Chains A and B, each alone.
Chain A
Amino acid sequence: MTLAPAPTTSAPRSGTRTRARLTPAWAIVACAVAVAAAAALSLALGARIVPVDAVWNAFFQPDGSTDQAAVLSRVPTTLTGLLVGAALGMGGALMQGMARNPLADPGLLGVNAGASLFVVLGMTLLGWQAPLAIVWCALAGAAVAVVIGYGAAAASPGGATPVTLALAGAAVTAIATAVITGILIVDESTLESFRFWQVGSLTAASFSSLAQLGGFLALGAVLAVGCAGRLNALALGDDVARGLGVRVGAARLTAVVAVVLLCGAATALAGPIGFVGLAVPHAVRFLVGADYRWIVPLSAAGGATFLLVCDVIGRLLARPGVLEVGIVTGLVGAPIFIVLLRRRKAVGL
């Protein structure tokens, strides 16, 4: 049985553009190339500028030269940049999908503030300075902040909706910031160390801290990719999502846990670096459309690339010193984000 042809309808009006500009296959290739290039740049550039073939040689034809030493010394930083950038990118994508608010950024849940608070407490009350101790403080603080924020939102009559999550997270952030500021004003020595931790840096992490937190990052990434599909349903509204068979509460909770793991560990390793989680998912969305199954993993690649590039810029601008990566992400990322915003008539989710 053949179907009669549908009656002709008028052509779509000009001005409606299809949203996806890159097919997923091309997007993957582009991201892989971008990440590799960023990593290579990160290994090559710094106080001492190393030619590209020396980067290759350092791993595959070691010759003990100073070039090789320079490259190898940058491996922890590069590795940190990759992992932290990927974590922040994914965390941001999850937050935006879960909160249904394009202003959502992992900091919204209070992750950064909680991490900072426990770091400050560790520095002040316990006199901890060792990087490894700082790292665990930060992770614990991030977890506690989110538990309180999410708990308060879930306990509200409407449950953990985007609005209540945002309000609760902002409240938790405010409490943490208040305590932090109070301590910093009183304890000058803590301010001395904390102000450097606050701007974020990829150099603080060592192989051992990466190894210890790598497990959290991996678990977070798995959860993130796993719930990406359900985020597509959530974006359509709770009712529609339930109609599609998604357990809304469980999906949101999974996303929150993933954000805590990813962004908590990232903040623990590199300090609170803002803006990556906000801007990278938007950029990825311009490229591949609104499917979270693509947005989440590509935000990981995008975040890694962006963070490494910013770190390299920070190294080059302030040679032989360094401009901290958190400062650069803000100064570089903001104009790029604004340009992107101006090119579109409407910014949806």
Chain B
Amino acid sequence: MTAAGTARLRSADALRAARRHGRRRDAVLVTALAVAAVVLFVAGLVFGAKTLALPDVLRALSGQTVPGVSFAVVELRLPRAVGALLAGAAFGLGGMLFQTLLRNVLASPDVIGISTGSSAAAVTAIAFFGASGLVVSGAAITGGLLTAVLIWALASRRGLSGLRFVLVGIAVAAALQAVIGYVLTRADIKAAEQATVWMAGSLSRSLWDQLAPTAPALLALLAIALLGARTLPVLRLGDDSATALGARPARNRILLILCAVLLVAVATSLTGPISFVAFLAGPIALRLVKRDSALAPASAMIGAIIVLAADLVGQHLFPITLPVGVITGAIGAPFLLWLLMRGRTRA
């Protein structure tokens, strides 16, 4: 072995060691986030109108009928916690995908109108058709998807420019916001109140009848998005380099954005737009992880944590129950400000 050859091998070892260190650190981070999510999940089962004992909760979960516990845990709290977990992960991951693929930190589903579309459809259904429950959810999904298609159609002109997509999205959002304003001022006060509550985002609608269709869809979409996000490290190098490395950036981008739209639309149909989570999760994850490959799982976890925590706070910290959408902004935003002031600027 020549001296140069030995030197090369040692560098290769050094590289491997450094990469393993980075990967380990990220694994620790993602694990810590997962643990936090689990803790919050369980807390959601334990605390409530009545604080339950943890062993009782676990027994109820395992299928045994525990008087005074099973109903609360299985019928009320469990679907709520599951909804919070899945919707939070969906918003977090979907938002991060939007921001990364459109290369603009402001390009979040609420800014570019997808959530506004869901809200407009839902609010119209509530205020003018007196709808509730699954009908409103259906309207929300349809509204979100139609809005995405509309933005796509309007922004496509000999290919898709990320910037034009976002600008068209903002314009569409403004128009939809006007529609919402119209509905809120023309409906009677009770309906307006209901619509406002829906738009604040809430987990109280997350019961098994709502969750049954939504949860499998969200799980499938999360899995697909996490798999697809593995191409992100190459995509972030720019279309030229990505193509030169054998990727198909245009096609991957389309598929991932489609995934992100579906994630946000379905999650919104369950909880209403608690979409500031979608805006926050990406920038927070970016400042916490060391390697690109951990961005997607971290964003999903952070989204879930924010929503779970916000729900706990909303239910227990104040004399009245506040909807989760109110709290996500109040928790997440100051945290982002703190991160901004403390950390390195990373775009």
Q: Report A-B touching, CB under 8 Å.
A: yes
Q: Which residues of A contact B336 (CB under 8 A)?
A: 167, 171
* Of B104, B196, B327, B329, the contact of A103 (CB 8 Å cutoff): B104
A335 to B276: give the CA distance in the assembly, Å. 26
Tell me whether B341 is interfacial, beta carbon within 8 Å. yes
* Of B176, B276, B344, the contact of A157 (CB 8 Å cutoff): B344
Within 8 A of B (CB), among A257-287: 274-275, 278-279
A185 to B200: give the CA distance in the assembly, Å. 9
Contact A167 B340 (CB under 8 A): yes
Contact B196 A166 (CB under 8 A): no
Tell me whether A156 is interfacial, beta carbon within 8 Å. yes
A152 to B341: give the CA distance in the assembly, Å. 6
A323 to B104: give the CA distance in the assembly, Å. 34
* Of A178, A186, A279, A323, the contact of B328 (CB 8 Å cutoff): A178
* Of A156, A188, A330, A334, the contact of B193 (CB 8 Å cutoff): A188
Q: Which residues of A contact B184 (CB under 8 A)?
A: 195, 198-199
Interface size on A, residues (CB 8 A): 58
Tell me whether B332 is interfacial, beta carbon within 8 Å. yes
Q: Chain A nearest CB: distance from B187 CB in Å?
A: 9
Q: Interface residues of B: mostly helix, strand, loop or mixed?
A: helix
Contact A275 B174 (CB under 8 A): yes
Tell me whether A196 is interfacial, beta carbon within 8 Å. yes
A161 to B344: give the CA distance in the assembly, Å. 12
Contact B189 A192 (CB under 8 A): yes
Contact A163 B105 (CB under 8 A): yes
Known: A171-B333, A279-B171. A338 touches B345 (CB 8 A): no
Q: Interface residues of A: mostly helix, strand, loop or mixed?
A: helix
Known: A185-B196, A327-B181. A347 touches B330 (CB 8 A): no
A105 to B107: give the CA distance in the assembly, Å. 14
Closest to B192 in A: A195
Within 8 A of A (CB), among B294-346: 320, 322-323, 325-330, 332-334, 336-337, 340-345
Contact B345 A161 (CB under 8 A): yes
Q: Which residues of B contact A101 (CB under 8 A)?
A: 104, 106
Q: Which residues of A contact B105 (CB under 8 A)?
A: 163, 166-167
| 1/0 contact string of B33-56 vs chain A (CB within 8 Å) | 000000000000000000000000
Stretch from B15-23, B82-90, B159-167, B211-219 forming part of the interface with A:
B159-167
Q: Which residues of B contact A324 (CB under 8 A)?
A: 181, 185
Q: Chain B nearest CB: distance from A341 CB in Å?
A: 6
Q: Chain B nearest CB: distance from A329 CB in Å?
A: 7
* Of B157, B174, B189, B276, the contact of A174 (CB 8 Å cutoff): B276
Contact A196 B337 (CB under 8 A): no
Tell me whether A342 is interfacial, beta carbon within 8 Å. yes
A346 to B164: give the CA distance in the assembly, Å. 8
Contact B326 A158 (CB under 8 A): no
Q: Which residues of B contact A335 (CB under 8 A)?
A: 171, 175
Closest to B340 in A: A156
* Of B166, B175, B332, B344, the contact of A334 (CB 8 Å cutoff): B175
Contact B279 A170 (CB under 8 A): yes
Tell me whether B210 is interfacial, beta carbon within 8 Å. no
Tell me whether B100 is interfacial, beta carbon within 8 Å. no
A199 to B182: give the CA distance in the assembly, Å. 8
* Of A102, A163, A170, the contact of B163 (CB 8 Å cutoff): A102
Closest to A156 in B: B340
Q: Which residues of B contact A103 (CB under 8 A)?
A: 104, 106-107, 111, 166-167, 170
Q: Which residues of A contact B107 (CB under 8 A)?
A: 103
Q: Which residues of B contact A338 (CB under 8 A)?
A: 154, 168, 171-172
Closest to B150 in A: A338
| 1/0 contact string of A92-106 vs chain B (CB within 8 Å) | 000000000111010
* Of A152, A155, A182, A347, the contact of B167 (CB 8 Å cutoff): A347
Q: Which residues of A contact B111 (CB under 8 A)?
A: 103
Contact B337 A199 (CB under 8 A): no
Q: Which residues of B contact A326 (CB under 8 A)?
A: 178, 181
Q: Which residues of B contact A152 (CB under 8 A)?
A: 337, 340-341
Tell me whether A328 is interfacial, beta carbon within 8 Å. yes
Closest to B336 in A: A171
Q: Which residues of A contact B347 (CB under 8 A)?
A: 163
Tell me whether B179 is interfacial, beta carbon within 8 Å. yes
Contact A333 B174 (CB under 8 A): yes
Contact B157 A342 (CB under 8 A): yes
Q: Which residues of A contact B326 (CB under 8 A)?
A: 178-179, 181-182, 185
Q: Which residues of B contact A279 (CB under 8 A)?
A: 171
Interface residues of B (CB under 8 A from A): 104-107, 111, 154-155, 157, 161, 163-164, 166-168, 170-172, 174-179, 181-182, 184-185, 189, 192-193, 196-197, 199-200, 276, 279-280, 283, 320, 322-323, 325-330, 332-334, 336-337, 340-345, 347
11 contacts between A and B (CB under 8 A): A152-B340, A163-B345, A168-B340, A171-B336, A172-B337, A181-B323, A186-B320, A192-B189, A198-B181, A331-B178, A346-B161
Q: A103-B106, A179-B330 are known; give 9 further A-B pairs, CB within 8 A.
A: A178-B326, A179-B326, A185-B193, A185-B323, A188-B193, A195-B185, A323-B182, A326-B178, A330-B176
Interface residues of A (CB under 8 A from B): 101-103, 105, 108, 152-153, 155-158, 161, 163-164, 166-168, 170-172, 174-175, 177-179, 181-182, 184-186, 188, 191-192, 195-196, 198-199, 274-275, 278-279, 323-324, 326-331, 333-335, 337-338, 341-342, 346-347
